[in-house]
Structure 1
Amino acid sequence: MKSTPSKTMSVKQVLLTVAKFGVPVGIVWYLVSQIQPEQWSALQASPKEYSLLALAMLVGLAATVLSYLRWWLLVRSHNIPLTPTEGVRLGAIGFLLNFVSIGAVGGDVFKAYFLSRRTPGKKIEVFATALVDRVVGLYGLLLVASVALWMIGDSLAGDDVAMIRTVVYSLTLAGAAFMLGIVLGGSLIDKALDRIMDVPMVGPFVHRIADPLRAFRHHTGAFMITIAMSVVVHMMLAVAIYFIAAGLYRHPPTLPEHMVIVPIANAVAGLPISLAGIGVFEGALDHLYAKLPQQPTDASGTIVGLVYEMVKITIAMIGVVFYWTGQREVRESFQAASTAPAES
């Protein structure tokens, strides 16, 4: 007897739900199993500063809300109606979806679908804001790491540090030239981009990035402000993780060192390897804790990263409240984003 389409869909939905929650749990279980006994002993022996852990939660929450407002400013620069409160509400739901979504439905896709349904005729601009928000966020991360590396100077030495310094500086300069050239450039930049867009494989990628950025030529002030906001967001996240490390261990890496370590770990976690970067961030943090600090640290990057994930999940619970108390329009946008191909 053949299965009906409804039964097939039901099985797919069950498997997808299991994957949504089973994969992150499996990754966390694996990370915990890899923690060495001496690392657990060091954690247990260290006096805990719970006030610093609470402060890490507050700073992390403030940084996350500021990232929501960054996207709201990009939206408003295109004269798309959206109040700051709505921007925070949609940002919170999107942040939640980054933890439980596989495939098309992510925070950016949901927000873009929601606004495009509310503002007919602004679909391209709406999806552009979501894409540019990601680009600006990544560039702010590179700026924080670059400035921190420059301020630390020669106090950090070694081949690994030299390689990291070269890569971060190069990406930061290249990103600045690319974004400023597209946003502030004129007809010469347009002609050059048109030629690049005809190149196989490279052209489609440049097209997806360049067109949304060129739309901000008439909103350069807002664009520059969002870059500054992104820098502040990533500085605050580094501070939050430093507070976690200082709250758990006697000798964590210093705050300036966290300004280098955390942006790099976040950049690695942004790669589409695992759900919400879970597992990747902890691994990167643990590796950088072993390589970058000038003085040896007793802190485990894996443990600090896992605590940070708990902080993020706690913040994401705010999105649950917004989702369940949202209007039917929110639910319909979620369903539309779930069944349609990604457009950004």
Structure 2
Amino acid sequence: MPPISPRHKLLITICKLLVVLGIIGYLLVQIQKEDGFSRLVSEPKQWSYLLTAQAMILLAFSSSFVRWFLLVHGLQLNFHLRDSFRLGSLGFMFNQVAPGSVGGDLLKAVFIAREQPGKRTEAVATVLIDRVIGLYAMLIIASLALSFADSSGDVDGTIRTIRSVVWFAMTAGTVGLFVVLSPWATSSKTRQLAESLPLIGKTLLRLIDALEIYRDRRGYLLGAFILALLTHSFLVTAFWCIRCGLPVQGPTFLQNTSLVPVALVAGALPGMPGGLGVMEGTLAYLYTTIGAAKSDGAIVAFTYRAMTYVVAAVGVCYYFAARKKVEGMIHDAEELAESIE
């Protein structure tokens, strides 16, 4: 496949930004129509809940940074926990402001590859597996909450459809996980098949080697999975605290646990920078399925987004503290993005 030209990349970026602006503009109009802004200004807020939400968000991101550190350490790569926090916040910042090809995940992979030449495939593998584990944990939390909500009769037809999709995705992920961790995935026949493939054969072999290390050190995967469950539990709790702290009508804690992971999964899908607009629009719609106003869901989502920018602000500080090094990493990340397109 020929590489995408710079002009086409620019056009794609502009289209993404237009979609994001369209969604955000629509949600802001909905908030204005339903007097959301006037309620935010005039009605009292529960600041203790909002401060708790901010603390939950910081704990969630911290646990996700530790999770990635575990996965990198599991591949026996030389990596420090402080680097995980620094790169995690820097990567999150780039995910929010970089609608192009260079996102935070590539930046994190490039850092490890730079520090340990010849380990690029392993570096990319840690970031990819970190994403997969995070998504899988999110699906598990959503499926459990949706099951409890369904047994209580507290859902409508749309939520039942979402529950079916989530259950299917979780089942597929579970099957895929067992296949990947099975001896077959790293068998000699699989290696021969990978080696016979043109262009990507060597890369696949190194990915298989990474899988074999993880299979022999499953404690790291288990630890990463537990941290992922903890991360998303913090995030779900943060959304509920925001809903309680603002003058809005929203879901119960169980309903919140059902809705929030679905919105976060939508926001995690590739395409938009940091899921901006997609997560907010999804949560606003999901609020309507439990009888709440779309504007209230949008207000909660926008407030969550603003609170996450505290983490992005830390990334900005790291960027200016090591600007030349980061710019070199950006250049390498652009080359890496082109090589895997």
TM-score range, shorter-chain basis?
0.7 to 0.9
1:224 deviation in Å?
1.4
Please state if 1:187 is matched with 2:184.
yes
Write out per-residue CA displacement over residues 225-284 of structure 1, whole angstroms, 9 at most, x where no aligned residue: 111111111111111111111111354211121111111001111223422111111111
Cα 1:285–1:334 change in 2 (3 A) is same
Partners in 2 of 1:157 and 1:24 — Cα distance? 29
Q: Which moved more, 1:185-194 or 1:231-240?
A: 185-194
The residue type equivalent to 1:110 in the other structure is: L
Partners in 1 of 2:84 and 2:312 — Cα distance? 15
Cα 1:115–1:33 change in 2 (3 A) is same
**Is residue 13–residue 100 contact of structure 2 (8 Å, CA) maintained in 1?**
no
Cα 1:150–1:48 change in 2 (3 A) is same
Cα 1:21–1:288 change in 2 (3 A) is closer
* Corresponding residue of 2:281: 283
Please state if 1:71 is matched with 2:71.
no
- State which of 285, 296, 300 in structure 2 corresponds to 1:300: 296
The residue type equivalent to 2:237 in the other structure is: V
Write out per-residue CA displacement over residues 183-230 of structure 1, whole angstroms, 9 at most, x where no aligned residue: 1x12388589789989xxxx99xx79x846455212211111111111
Please state if 1:148 is matched with 2:145.
yes
1:19 deviation in Å?
9.2
Cα 1:304–1:80 change in 2 (3 A) is same
**Is residue 68–residue 87 contact of structure 1 (8 Å, CA) maintained in 2?**
yes
Matching of residues 67-146 of structure 1 within 5 Å: 67-146=64-143
Cα 1:123–1:250 change in 2 (3 A) is closer
The gaps in structure 1 that reach 5 residues or longer are: 1-8
Partners in 1 of 2:76 and 2:167 — Cα distance? 35
The residue type equivalent to 2:331 in the other structure is: Q
1:63 deviation in Å?
0.3
Partners in 1 of 2:159 and 2:25 — Cα distance? 31
**Is residue 109–residue 342 contact of structure 1 (8 Å, CA) maintained in 2?**
no
TM-score (structure 1 length as normaliser): 0.82
Give me the CA root mean square deviation.
Answer: 3.5
- State which of 310, 320, 326 in structure 2 corresponds to 1:324: 320
Partners in 2 of 1:307 and 1:173 — Cα distance? 33
Partners in 2 of 1:19 and 1:314 — Cα distance? 27
1:32 deviation in Å?
1.1
Partners in 2 of 1:124 and 1:311 — Cα distance? 34
* Corresponding residue of 2:175: 177
Specify the SS of the correspondent of 1:341. Answer: helix
Partners in 1 of 2:156 and 2:12 — Cα distance? 45
Cα 1:160–1:328 change in 2 (3 A) is same
Please state if 1:253 is matched with 2:248.
no
Cα 1:342–1:284 change in 2 (3 A) is same
Cα 1:129–1:97 change in 2 (3 A) is same
Cα 1:214–1:101 change in 2 (3 A) is farther
Percent of matched pairs sharing the same residue = 31
Partners in 2 of 1:195 and 1:256 — Cα distance? 49
Partners in 2 of 1:36 and 1:256 — Cα distance? 28
Matching of residues 265-280 of structure 1 within 5 Å: 265-280=263-278
**Is residue 24–residue 278 contact of structure 1 (8 Å, CA) maintained in 2?**
yes
* Corresponding residue of 2:333: 337
* Corresponding residue of 1:243: 241
Partners in 2 of 1:188 and 1:110 — Cα distance? 28
1:22 deviation in Å?
8.6
| Stretches of 4+ aligned residues off by more than 4 angstroms | 11-27, 41-46, 188-198, 210-215
TM-score (structure 2 length as normaliser): 0.83
1:104 deviation in Å?
2.3
Specify the SS of the correspondent of 2:337. Answer: coil
The residue type equivalent to 2:333 in the other structure is: A
Partners in 2 of 1:89 and 1:37 — Cα distance? 41
Cα 1:12–1:261 change in 2 (3 A) is closer
Specify the SS of the correspondent of 1:321. Answer: helix
Cα 1:143–1:223 change in 2 (3 A) is same
Corresponding pairs, count:
326
The gaps in structure 2 that reach 5 residues or longer are: 1-5
* Corresponding residue of 1:4: none
1:87 deviation in Å?
0.8
1:153 deviation in Å?
3.9
